[in-house]
Amino acid sequence: MKPAVFDYHSPVELEEALNLLDEFGYDAKIMSGGQSLIPMMNMRLARPKVLIDINNITELNYIRITDLDIKIGGLTRHHQVEESKEIEKICPLLSEGMKLIGHSQIRSRGTIGGSVVHADPTAELPVMLTTLGATVTLASSEGIRTLTTDEFFMTYLTTTIEMNEILISIEVPIPPPNTGYAIDEFTLRKGDFAIVLAAASVTLKEDGKVESASLCLGGVDGVPVLLDEVTDELVGKEPDSDLIADCCSRIEDLVDPEPDIHASAEYRKDLCITYAKRVLERAVERAAQQLK
């Protein structure tokens, strides 16, 4: 199928794009990589009367690293993050997770802003950002606001972005020393959207005990699920396999996934526990390597 008829605009500055959003309101849709929006338009699940293509707004394509955070512009492509040597060194979770997004063709067009605003609950980026305590920054003609992932993701494919806003950047805090990360997922075929995915970050103290940790699951609810109830139990303790397994067994009572054509609720729950254990163990191992 082909999309319904639409008018096309290709602004070269953010201000111009924001003015177009003000002018056309709910009739308009932003297009960045087009990897999700165009298939939806072709299937007539989305019928914007006006398409605002932001691909020429080059000011939104950047990776900037400061002492405090990694700032990534909304138009930055997945492959740019995947291939950044600096990001690989400072925050390897992002590099590792990017490689799990679809196929290289998708990653060469798909953008950070598109992936975050599309808000698929099994997408890697929202889960990584939640694990990392990242923020998202939105611009409108009225100004700029920065939100936590908790404030941004609402439910399946739905966020708190307003109709006149554009996601201009994400900000990932620079992790403390002795931090290890991991991300892993269960897919039916390589490159498919995950059935369940898990990401973890663990920071160890010099004595090998856990300073802080976070664990986030995707594919179990409409938004990424941060499991502080699990990781709080690790803090201040030596994180061996038995402790991690014991903490992860709590997930049984903490998640309530929906069944679908790919997996029953029980199977999805089992996957959550298996993958949570796996990423926590790997993150601890990687953090411990830095203590040596």
Ligand X SMILES: Cc1cc2nc3c(=O)[nH]c(=O)nc-3n(C[C@H](O)[C@H](O)[C@H](O)COP(=O)(O)OP(=O)(O)OC[C@H]3O[C@@H](n4cnc5c(N)ncnc54)[C@H](O)[C@@H]3O)c2cc1C
- Binding residues for ligand X, rule: CB under 6 A, are 29-37, 39, 74, 101-102, 106, 110-111, 113-115, 117-118, 120, 123-125, 166-167, 193
CA dist 65 → 62, 82, 173 (Å): 10, 15, 10
Count of CB atoms situated within 10 Å of the CB of 173: 13
The DSSP code sequence of 125-180 is HHHHHHHHT-EEEEEETTEEEEEEHHHHEEETTEES--TT-EEEEEEEEPPPSSEE
Nearer to ligand X, 7 or 228 (CB): 7
Which residues are bridge partners to 45 per DSSP?
Answer: none
224 alpha-carbon distance from chain centroid: 8
Count of CB atoms situated within 10 Å of the CB of 143: 7
CA dist 20 → 30, 138, 180, 244 (Å): 10, 16, 43, 51
Nearer to ligand X, 50 or 235 (CB): 50
CB of 205 to ligand X, least distance (A): 34
Please report which helix (H) or strand (E) contains residue 73, including its range: strand 69-73
CB of 291 to ligand X, least distance (A): 33
CB of 248 to ligand X, least distance (A): 24
Nearer to ligand X, 128 or 287 (CB): 128
CB of 256 to ligand X, least distance (A): 23
Nearer to ligand X, 37 or 182 (CB): 37
CB of 282 to ligand X, least distance (A): 20
Nearer to ligand X, 117 or 223 (CB): 117
